[in-house]
Amino acid sequence: MATEDILQFEDVVAGYGKETILHGLSLTVQRNAITTIIGPNGAGKSTAFKACFGMLPVRSGRIFFDEREITNLSPRALIARGICYVPQGRNIFPELSVQHNLELGGVAAPKGFDLASRMEAAMERFPVLRRKGRQQASTLSGGEQKMLEIARGLLPQPKLMLIDEPSIGLSPILVEELFGLFREMRARDITVLMIEQNAKRALENSDYGIVLELGRARIADRAEKILADSRIGQLFLGGGLEPTQAA
């Protein structure tokens, strides 16, 4: 029987060159939930994602996914195990067609992967990708490009999706649509772990929150409890996170 936690960091140390960013980071992520990581710039949020996805070496400590150690595995191996990573910014191949960009989501899929059926499912969920399938990806709007990235990540049916700053450059309407998509993913047993600049809005749409400070997890709790804690805004977001009534 699967445990409640799908992802665990145990005393993870990582950084860039001689600079250490994660100073013994320990955290757990609940299965089939939406969790938002918040914290000031330089806290180690994106670094944690890169260490998890094999893009940055873990110097010491261990990372576990679905009860198996994944420390320093390659991104390709992690995709095959059920982890998807959508980095910050636009990460498409602009000169390729929308359809070809989407097909790349199946490159590292496990054996027996049915690309045709998964492509059809993606087109049904994101009709704009079907309508514009033959166009160059560069012709899509910012919101459409983000949907393409997420659809590509969903193609191999991941268990966990890491999403870094998904709402950057999107209109409020598209941001709401995006959070609605994350709720749909949760309903389909996909765990969502995100970093989001709009921390208050993200926490309002999350089950759990984790606050990082100086490469360590300072607070981990239900999202509504973090939103109700008046200290959080002052300590980590310059007062930008207004306290709200806990649900």
Segment 130-181, tens digit of pLDDT: 999 999 999 998 888 988 999 999 988 899 999 999 988 888 888 899 999 9
Report the percentage of the chain scoring pLDDT > 70.
Answer: 91
Mean pLDDT of 10-38: 97
How far is the C-alpha of 125 from the C-alpha of 65, rounded, in Å? 27
For 239, the token pair is 């007062």
Q: Does residue 190 have a pLDDT over 50?
A: yes
Q: Residues 68-100: pLDDT tens digits?
A: 999 999 999 999 899 999 998 778 899 999 999
Predicted local distance difference test score (pLDDT) of residue 3: 65
Predicted local distance difference test score (pLDDT) of residue 240: 42
Mean pLDDT of 7-28: 97
Mean pLDDT of 172-194: 94
How far is the C-alpha of 136 from the C-alpha of 197, rounded, in Å? 29
How far is the C-alpha of 77 from the C-alpha of 83, rounded, in Å? 9
Which of 93, 84, 46, 92 lies closest to 65 in space, CA to CA?
A: 84
- Using pLDDT thresholds of 50, 70 and 90, give the confidence band for residue 239: very low
Q: What is the DSSP letter of 28?
A: E
Q: Are 224 and 192 in contact (CB under 8 A)?
A: no
Predicted local distance difference test score (pLDDT) of residue 118: 86
Give the number of other Cβ atoms within 10 Å of residue 43's Cβ: 23
How far is the C-alpha of 107 from the C-alpha of 11, rounded, in Å? 32
Q: Does residue 115 have a pLDDT over 50?
A: yes
